[in-house]
Amino acid sequence: MYAIKVELKLNNREKTLMNKHLGFSRFCYNYALSIYNQLNHKEYPGGSSKKIDLIRKIFNNLTKKNPDFDWANQMSSRVYQNAFRNLKTAFTKFWKGEAKRPIYKKKKHPGSFTVDSSNGVILQLNRKQVKLPTLGTFRTFEAIPKCVAQTYTVSKKANRYYVAFHLNAELVPPIQHEVLEPVGLDINLTLGKYCVLSDGTQITYPKPLKTAITKLRKFQYHNRNKQFGNRKKGIKTSANALRYFQKLARMHQQVAARRLDFLQKLTTDLACKYKHIKLETLNIKGMLANHKLAFHIADASFYKFKTLLEHKAKTHGGIVESVDMWYPSSKLCSKCLNKKDKLGLTERTYDCNACSLSICRDLNSAINLAQAPLEQTKTRVGSIRRNACGQVVADNLGLKQEVNTKVNTKMINFG
């Protein structure tokens, strides 16, 4: 299963149509939530799902027939059905303890709406076009591969419109990896690097992303006193402030897009080249508490990197292992396994007292991760063949997989 998300190329009339439906979706969600919150739950016991179904009936049979709500009849009926469904999911998650209690959607955040086809899947031809059920055909910036899908979600972010849907594609068959031995990967953002691999490869942080971040920070600092209105104090948003916040949203989006692009390309390359990757488990919550480290950790989007890498390793027939949080990867000497008691954050080279090894600190810890014993492994994604002694048996990736390699490169592009 893959998800595709592409930007829509809309004219003004189409933008208005999308905005109307975004508003309609928000209205229905808030409508149902408002009635639900006003219900006397002692008088009417029962699950939230049943109650929301009832609210939907009230909306359908009473509110929509009210002349004041004539506009609702001009909208796609699939939108409100899905809005009610989303609220149901939100409550289910809340009762399970996975999320907070649903709150009202705000106009400030345009969010998304979902349309689905009531009579089967919709065929997308291999064109720069997307057919949305009950709404029509719209242009896209990128071509959508020939596929079928039933449910489409349109979202708006920083004045741009996107459509996302699932695509039933077969998993990429395992490919022949260039490197079969385990490699360690140490993430470190200092000195413009992103991560270091135990075979000596250094991956640098892309410059366009860095410049975008610097630009954004400066822009925010220069406009630090602007307010987006304040209803309690009776301050209205000025035209200048509105322009500023619109530009700010665009800049934030650019940074996010550049970062995601970098992570996607990096993880695809890593998953294709290396069969067995070992990462360290970072105590991210603990590190975010340290204000000096927080920016760098959040900036590295380590969690996103890990999720992407694990997902891609799985589809490419590789393995990703996380080494225990307390494994002293940076304090050990990668040559003689002598452990140092103290290693400051500023010490960039590792000088061993026992065997006089002098090595880059990050490379040392990457090699240690690669050499980490099996019992230090916390989680593993993907499968590996092992014999009874726990040694890795060479995978017999036969001719079959080699033949398939050509297919892969095409499929990976969606990842």
Residue 340 beta carbon to Zn ion: minimum distance, rounded to whole angstroms: 9
CB contact at 8 A, 368 and 332: yes
x/- binding map, residues 188-227, to Zn ion, per CB under 5 A?
----------------------------------------
Residue 364 beta carbon to Zn ion: minimum distance, rounded to whole angstroms: 10
Nearer to Zn ion, 333 or 363 (CB): 333
Nearer to Zn ion, 170 or 351 (CB): 351
336 touches Zn ion (CB under 5 A) = yes
Nearer to Zn ion, 34 or 349 (CB): 349
Instruction: Count residues near Zn ion (CB under 5 A).
Output: 8
Residue with tokens 């719209």: 138
Coil, helix or strand for 222?
helix
- Per CB under 5 A, contacts with Zn ion among 379-398 are none
Residue 245 beta carbon to Zn ion: minimum distance, rounded to whole angstroms: 55
The HSE-up count of residue 196 (CA atoms within 13 Å, CB side) is 21
335 touches Zn ion (CB under 5 A) = yes
Nearest to 296 by CA among 221, 188, 404: 188
Residue 128 beta carbon to Zn ion: minimum distance, rounded to whole angstroms: 58
x/- binding map, residues 33-52, to Zn ion, per CB under 5 A?
--------------------
Only one of the segments 8-16, 27-35, 161-169, 327-335 lies at the binding site for Zn ion (rule: CB under 5 A); that segment is 327-335
CA distances from 154 to 114, 135, 290, 335, 381 (A): 6, 11, 38, 54, 32
CA distance 117 to 243: 38
333 touches Zn ion (CB under 5 A) = yes
- Per CB under 5 A, contacts with Zn ion among 347-376 are 352, 354-355, 357
State the sign of the Cα–Cα–Cα–Cα dihedral 90, 95, 100, 101. positive
Nearer to Zn ion, 252 or 335 (CB): 335
CA distance 253 to 220: 14
Per-residue burial over 200-229, b if 16 or more Cβ lie within 10 Å, else e, is: eeebebbeebeebbeeeeeeeeeeeebeee
List interacting residues with Zn ion (CB under 5 A): 333, 335-336, 338, 352, 354-355, 357
